Every structure is written in structure tokens, then in C-alpha cells.
Structure 1
Amino acid sequence: MISGLLPATVACAEAFEDDGEDDLFPQERELIGNSVERRRREFTTVRACARRALADLGLPPAPVLPGVRNVPQWPAGIVGSMTHCDGYRAAALARAADLVTVGIDAEPDLPLRQGMVESIALPSELSWVRAAVPGSVHRDRLLFSAKECVYKAWYPMMRTELDFDDAEIAFTETADGSGTFDARVLRPARNAPGQWVDAFAGRWTARRGLLVTTISLAATAVSVN
């Protein structure tokens, strides 16, 4: 599902069923020692995806440990993102020489719980959600996924928090249940001077009862103050 949404320079791996725990590194196993079985399975499988992506980049297996705000810590010179939801786990990695950031998110194509969309949507986004036609994707969940994807792309570069109302997103949708989105970050970067990114272009698809959103940003698209 995910490889067609990202450039060829991105190594992608995904799983629709869970793997075992035999290949966890000791540091990873320690992190889930007291976790429930469901959490252990998703943790293990998404890291198996990450290691398959590392192998596609010609790199050896390595532990994937959470850093600040649970951002995955990748080997030097690698950028990437992971995601998991019911029935799906994925990782997307690239060399920093090719891309400065990658963000991915997956969600079930189901409505958000009642009242949640009002807490995450700006007025323009809420109007778009409410204009959905019967039988289309669940726009509230797609909006949530895209905002998560923006955060995953933004934070590793800027190290600045974003709230849901700090990014405004506009979508295009095609008849085959896919499309693009443009995200405009409304909060100024706090680490300027340096990299400054206030917009992202993303892609999304709806298949197999899932919504997947992706962002990738080439180094040439980043201006320096």
C-alpha cells in the first residue's frame, strides 16, 4: 500500500499480520517487558518492518528505540517513520542525503469517535469533512491521519511541538479512493535561523479498510534562513 505513495529513494516495508518476538534486540525487549500481548505484537512487527527497510538500504539490523516524544532513533544518516494500527504495520526509511524527512501514518477507515473531529479540525477542514458524500472515505479519520503524518515529518526536523490546529490541510480526492493533500504549518519555527519548513505536500490512499498518508521532503525543497 505504502510504496506507491513515496519516492523510489524510500525503502518501505509493511505487514498485515504480526511477526514473532525472536528477532528483538535486548534493548527493545526490555521496553515491552510489562506490555500486554497486543502491544508486544505491534511493537515487534513494526520493528521487523523497519529492519527490512534498513536491509533494503544496504544497512545491517539495528535496534529501533524511542527518543524524545517517542520519535524513532535511526542509524546515522537515515530518516524515517513508522506506523501501526489494527491490521497494519509499516516503516519507511531513506538516506538523509536524499530526503530530509519522511512521515507516514495509517488508520482504520472508520469514523472518529463522536465529537473528536471538532477538537482537531480548523473551520475549513471541518467544512470539508461535513461535505463528504455517502460511500466515500471517512474524511474525519483521513484528516486525523494527515495531521499525524505532518507531525511525524515536522518534529524530527524542527524539534517543535505541533497541535492539531497548528497545521491546516486541504485534500484532493480521486474516484479510485486516493489523492493528495497540502499542509500549511501555521506556527513559526522556533529553531530559526536554520531549516525553515512551513508547508508539506502529501499523498494518501484508502484500501483494504485502511487509510494511509505519507509525506516526503527532498533536501532541495528546504530553504535555509
Structure 2
Amino acid sequence: MSLSPNQHLVALKSLAERIAPPQVAVAVTDPARGVAVVWPQEAPAIARAVPKRRREFAAGRQAARLAMRSLGRPEQAVPTRPDRAPQWPKGLTGSITHDATSCVAIVGSGGHFRALGVDVEPDAPLHDDLTAEICLPQERAWLMEVPTPRRALMARRLFCAKEAVYKAQYPLTQTLFGFDTIQVTLNVRSTGFTARFMQSVGEVPEGTVLSGQCGTGGEHVLAMVTLGAQAGMENANFPVCATG
């Protein structure tokens, strides 16, 4: 039985809060409701966008402000940089993601995190053509060991994890790269993963490893990567880049 819109958002938020570190605030909104307001500083980014994109953008910014409020910070605009990435207010870092039925935003203090990355996907099988495009030979070999009914679902998790890694590293490297740059390994319970850089990205050397969290809830797959800014925090040893 399918969940109602409210039920799937509640379950997704619960999942996000469960896998996020204590210092990360989480908010979830519904892009289909179309009630979110875009602030003037944000409006230029969607001046020529189609209605669907406008709704998704507005819901994402609404989620970002709700997360700021949960963090105990005043709500602020999140305009778009020339490279289309969110421009977070001074002292904050975050990440926004959406699929057709949900928007998720995570926000943290710049004193705790250098960057955050989150991705949400429908908990549905990934098409074989996309699996071939997204997965490295090592990842496809692992998928072949997964029972057939779950193989395409696990491919979706690999995709989601790669997206979260990309979004976490981008504010520091400002480098675009393809899916073959990262090899993802899910843990035994598929509640977390490691991501190895198979080639250098900016000042991040080949062989660098990041860890992340993932899970399913509310008919969604969610992956999250946090780059800690303090010793002992997850991924605090991620190389500091000239741009970060």
C-alpha cells in the first residue's frame, strides 16, 4: 500500500534525522504543493524556468530556511551562484536535493562542517541502461552477486551515494566529474558506504576515501555525506583544496 504524501514526508524526515550528525539540521518539503515562496534574491535563478522547476526550487529553498530555523539561525535567502550551486549564508553550509515528490535540505554551521552533500531518489529499480552508465566494473561485479529481485534497487543506492559525494565535494573543489570518478562500496546492511576517488579531482588525490550514510524511508532512498571541520569528525581529513 502506498503512503500518503504526508506519511512519506514524515518517514523521509525521520530517516534523514537518523543518519545526520547531531549538528546537522534537516527539513523536508513537498514540491507538489506549490505554496513555497521564493525570496527576491533567489528569484533570478528561476526567472525563465518552467512551473515544475519553479515549484521544486521554491520547495527546496523553503526546506533550507526551515533547517536554518531548526539550527537556531535566522531564516535567510539562498541565492544561486553562477555555477548554479546554492550560495549559503556566511557561517553556514548545506545541501538541497529533490525528486518528484520531496525536497530535502540539510544545513550545518561552518564551524562544524566544511561542506555537506545529500541526495534523494525514489526507492525504485534503476534502469539497466543507467546502471551501465553509472557503475564501474567493480560495482557491476558486486551487483551481480546481489539476488536478482534486489539488484536494480541496490544500483539505485549506488547512484544516490555517488550524487551525495559529488555534492559534498563540489563546494571545495568546484570540479565537475563523471560517475566513473568514484567507486562506492555499501556496507553489509546498506546503511552506510565508502567512496574512493579513482582519479585525482583538483587537489584531492586518487585513492582518497570518504564515508557516508544511506537508507530507505517513505518510499525514498537517501544518502548523506558530511565533511567535518573539526578533528575527529567524519571525513575531517578530506584534503583542503585551494578553493575550499
Conserved? CA contact 1:184–1:200, under 8 Å = yes
Question: Is 1:8 aligned with 2:22?
Answer: yes
More strand by share: 1
Q: Distance in 2 between matches of 1:32 and 1:153?
A: 23
Aligned to 1:67: 81
Residue in 2 aligned with 1:23?
A: 37
* Alignment counterpart, residue 34 of structure 1, candidates 48, 62, 70: 48
1:128 offset after TM fit, Å?
A: 2.0
SS of the aligned residue for 2:42 comes to helix
Deviation at 1:17, TM superposition (A): 5.6
Answer yes or no: is 1:143 the counterpart of 2:153: no
Task: Count how many residue pairs are aligned between Structure 1 and Structure 2.
Answer: 220
Question: Does the C-alpha gap of structure 1 residues 22 and 201 become closer, same or farther in structure 2, counting only changes over 3 Å?
Answer: closer
Paired-residue identity, %: 31
Local SS of the residue matching 2:75: coil
Other-structure match for 1:77: 91
Q: Does 1:96 align with 2:117?
A: no
Question: Does the 8 Å contact 2:68/2:107 carry over to 1?
Answer: yes
Superposed counterparts of 1:151-170, under 5 Å:
151-170=166-185
Q: For residue 139 of structure 1, give the secondary structure of its aligned residue in structure 2.
A: helix
Q: C-alpha offsets along residues 97-142 of structure 1, whole Å, 9 cap, x if unaligned? A: 1112211000011223341211111111111223222553701211
2:127 alignment counterpart: 113
TM-score by length of 2: 0.81
Runs ≥4 residues deviating over 6 A: none
Give per-residue Cα distances to partners, 1:126-182, cap 9 Å, x unaligned. Answer: 1122322255370121111111111001111122222211111100242xxx51100
Identify the residue that residue 185 of structure 1 maps to in structure 2.
197
Q: What is the TM-score normalised by the length of structure 1? A: 0.87
Partner of 1:125: 139
Deviates more, 1:212-221 or 1:110-119: 110-119
Q: CA deviation at 1:209?
A: 1.7
Unaligned ranges ≥5, structure 2: 1-14
Structure 1 spans left out of the alignment, 5+ residues: none
